[in-house]
Structure 1
Amino acid sequence: MDSPANSQKTVSDDEEIDYSIKPEFYDSDLDVKDELWMVKKRDGRTSDAVLSCPACFTTVCLECQRHEQYVTQYRAVFVVNCKVDENRVLQHNSTPPSIVGKRTRDSEKQEAGSADGERLNPVVCSTCSTEIGVFDSEEIYHFSNVIPSEP
């Protein structure tokens, strides 16, 4: 039986790669192409942030507006990778906007039934089903459980 010292020399993958040939999946212009795609998607409009799901980092919004008072909350009309849970209706009863979309006690957010509150549907990430905000009766998404990044 040969010992490891007497066996044939093992060739690493690095020694088999020809670096003089451009890699098949490399695109040096990818950042420029991505930026042009984003400009086209926004159609000249600006955004305060690009929002991602906190659990799986899937992009959920490319164009949003930050809340004036609660800087960790955003609102948007156009979203991606989101699902509105139409089976659940939440009741917003004059509670501060800081808790919209967060899990709260039943006294603060109740199932639909009260006449004096705004009806909200939970919004979840379509990739991992994490609750990331709410959808109101005016068809505006309000995000509170998201990760913002520079637009």
Structure 2
Amino acid sequence: MEEKQGKEAMEAMEEEPEAMDHQELVSSDDEIDYSIEPEFYDPNLDEKDEVWVRKQRKGHGSDAVLSCPACFTTLCLDCQRHEKYLTQYRAMFVMNCKIKMDKMLPQEKRKPKKLKSDTKSGSKPRGNTETDEIYHPVCCSVCSTEVGVFDENEIYHFFNVLPSYS
């Protein structure tokens, strides 16, 4: 019995569809009444947003507004662009970020470069020979995408973000 019903359904699907009336093919745009202002439209929204951002920045300028590359959530309104690595930023005040304090990124041991004059004269390089820096991963609190690191000086270093310049 079930096989017979299944065959009938398949045969009905294989038949050519009936000719459609052209009056039924109406764009949804034709049904919208543009003379009535939409309920959720606010023509002053851009100005309100600008006032909010200025209040958040407290009068400070910023090199960019940083957003998560995966979900576009705003992460930082006040940051400085790295002088050498133009896609990296640092900031002290962020939003929508969580620090993974239980994880530490591999410690980087940096040795200062020896100058040619130092090697010839036999003098030792200035400063520490090795510096241990501790970094914790920073993730977007909305989608958990890793966007940067947090250092022991409580500075956020962003390298996986979308900057928007204003």
> What's the TM-score, normalizing by structure 1?
0.76
d(CA) in 1 for partners of 2:39, 2:63: 36
Question: 1:54-109: CA deviations, max 9, x gaps?
Answer: 2222211111001122211110011111110111012232289xxxxxxxxxxxxx
Residue of structure 2 aligned with 1:132, choices 142, 147, 153: 147
Alignment of 1:2-151 (within 5 A): 4-5=20-21, 9-10=23-24, 12-90=27-105, 91-94=107-110, 116-151=131-166
Question: 1:7-61: CA deviations, max 9, x gaps?
Answer: 9x43654344322211111111111111111111111000000111122222111
CA change 1:95–1:150 in 2 (3 A) is farther
- The alignment-based identity, stated in percent, is 61
Please say if residues 55 and 130 of structure 1, whose CA atoms lie closer than 8 Å, have aligned partners that are also in contact. yes
Aligned length: 130
CA change 1:117–1:59 in 2 (3 A) is same
SS of the equivalent of 1:122 reads strand
The structure whose RCO (Cα within 8 Å, separation 6+) is larger is 1
Provide structure 1 residue ranges, at least 5 long, that are not aligned to the other structure. 97-114
Q: Which residue is 2:121 aligned to?
A: none
Give 1 or 2 for the bigger CA radius of gyration.
2
Provide structure 2 residue ranges, at least 5 long, that are not aligned to the other structure. 1-17, 113-129
After TM superposition, what 4+ stretches of structure 1 lie above 4 angstroms from structure 2? none
d(CA) in 1 for partners of 2:134, 2:71: 28
d(CA) in 1 for partners of 2:37, 2:59: 35
Q: CA RMSD in A?
A: 2.2
Please say if residues 111 and 131 of structure 2, whose CA atoms lie closer than 8 Å, have aligned partners that are also in contact. no
Please say if residues 92 and 120 of structure 1, whose CA atoms lie closer than 8 Å, have aligned partners that are also in contact. no
> What's the TM-score, normalizing by structure 2?
0.70
Pairwise CA distance, 1:130? 1.4
Pairwise CA distance, 1:116? 4.4
